[in-house]
Structure 1
Amino acid sequence: MKLAFYGSSLLSSYWNGAATYYRGVLSQLARHGHDITFYEPDAFERQQHRDIEPPAYARVDVYEATPDACARVLAEAAAADVVVKASGVGVFDEELLHGVLDCSRRDALRIYWDVDAAATLEELEGAPDHPLRRRLPEFDLVLTYGGGPPVVNKYRSMGARECIPIYNALDPATHHPVPSEPRFASDLAFLANRLPDREARVEEFFLRAAALSTGKRFLLGGNGWHDKGMPANVTAIGHVGTADHNAFNCTPLAVLNVARDSMANIGFSPATRVFEAAGAAACLITDAWEGIEQFLAPNLEVLVARDGQDVADLLGQLTPERARAIGQNALARVLAEHTYERRGVEADRVIRQALAAKRELVAA
């Protein structure tokens, strides 16, 4: 089955938090017999900050960020059985949206795969003439990497024929326990790019917690924080490549997850970082969001904070022994229930069933 996937980047996590998800899901779909081509634009210096070279499970077509190159790769959609437009490519999103629908064969399965569903829906709600909202009913299927019932119901109310979450998960071959590294030594570490719809929550859950914990060391990784005012006990280290994520998660006493505004509001949207940390047996402290117990058990497999004061209090009470126990519990849970191998089985089933239904409909 030939699958054409138009996304942000498979090769680079630079300003591209979806990379881990793409790699996890697509590598498993390849194991189920899908012949995958991933089309990604040469944009935002991602190709200069590659984490991986083109993998064996997918052919990667890196195209110039020009209209002609975009048209070239869209023309190749006609050869695919399944054509996917991912959210947040970053350049030519509207052209890719129209092209996936207009260039694919009549009997091809057309999927909109949303890797930031809560933010997408927030944007669509206030824009009835948005191109995606106008053409949403033409997609056979919407897949999302989170969101649960609130996202499913909202997408359906906006005209989606079907919406199914394929959640973030763990690839244990990629994210796993490793020895600690001195450069990541800290009491609490946080890894995230600086984004407008997360900054206020980072200020509350991370920077305020640091200000309340003057005797503790805080480590901040990710792009965009270089000119942000911070307490003296916070060290910002910039971009952390995926090759260093295991050590970044394993070394500190605890690591922090902070959801973006839209994800926190809608719930059921665990970030990739949650599973990366759990896979490394890290003690994770997360901000509170609805549905977390579906993935990790509070107080047993994860610590949950309502605000920066809670983070500071949890950190102040946390011993190395308890941190290790929580991390080991989290690792056991995600290995049992939340691996990309499991997500791959689910995604393959959903895609094959939807494609069979589409072909039956076209043939009728």
Structure 2
Amino acid sequence: MASTEPPEAGPPLHRLESVFRVYDVQREGDQLIYYGEPLVPQDRLMKTIWPLFRESGYEATLTTRMGEYVIVAEPVDLGPDGVPWKNVLLFVATVLSTLFAGASWYHVDPIANPLSALQQAWPFTLAVMGVLGTHELGHYVMSRYHGVDATLPYFIPMPTLIGTMGAVIRMKGQMPDREALFDIGVAGPLAGLVATVVVTAIGLTLEPVTASQQLLNGPNVVQVKFGYPPLLKGIAALMGERLTYGDPTKSINPVVIGGWVGMFVTFLNLIPVGQLDGGHIVRAILGERQESIAALVPAVLFGLAAYVFYVLDVSNATVLWVIWGFLSMFFAYVGPATPIDDDELDPRRKLLGVVTFVLGLLCFTPTPIQIIS
């Protein structure tokens, strides 16, 4: 039965009447449903009603049902509800996968010597999980600060050279304004970089790993060569530590690889397109003009791939940048989050955004990794 009486928990209807004429109000479980007619453009409508519903503890969205405009209001539920078992299980699985991957950097067979692998590889796992977790927790903490619903980090275990494909959080709430979009986007890279610098500095002070000559001469040995970005080289130079050794049996401590992972992840996340951190930051700074930059990103990455292949003659890194060229096309198509209040960002945040991108460039190297059989 149609009703124009507001649900007890919702905002008073008279506060909506200037932008949305309500002719039916219903409750479906925890949801409040307002059928009506928009009186202003959608961006102005949402900018007006969204804070009204948030005051009442609801997240409001505008949609259509059977050709009718509807405001759907759901209770705001920030933070995990009960034990986040999926997050916990993925975290444990990623710890195990990074221990397995880390054992190879310490030249230990994790299958033949699982206890030895656990004892030696845990610093590598702590380094990798630390930089990835700090990055995602930066996003999560700032999401909570701005009242945006977000999940805890999901770590992604994967049988790669580092044992993981990273970590992500999922944003479930709408972005209230450009300030929130910027703060949430920039918090991950900056927090992750702090952890990365600390991990790198610690790793550089640790003893290098030594492999036996017999192991190096094995028929199935694969040589992995890392490309060190300017930030990592700079930290090593300031500390007076070495990244390479004249002795082929010696290599950097695997904890430094954890720092390298942090820098590589920071650069990739700051690519200015779509739902990546860089896309959110540029969207907050430039507004809808962000689309012009996003359109150029795939071409830049494909051009980088061509440079690496034809000039540097490194096929492994070429494949990497081609993959990211296609991924950036998808991210550009999806686009970044659109804030409810799309007013201009303040100059202080704009400056911080520029500084963040400069730091991201210091994490870039055209050939992050080479695999030599």
Larger Rg: 2
Q: Which has the larger helix fraction?
A: 2
TM surpasses 0.5? no
The TM-score, its normalising length taken from structure 1, stands at: 0.23
The TM-score, its normalising length taken from structure 2, stands at: 0.23
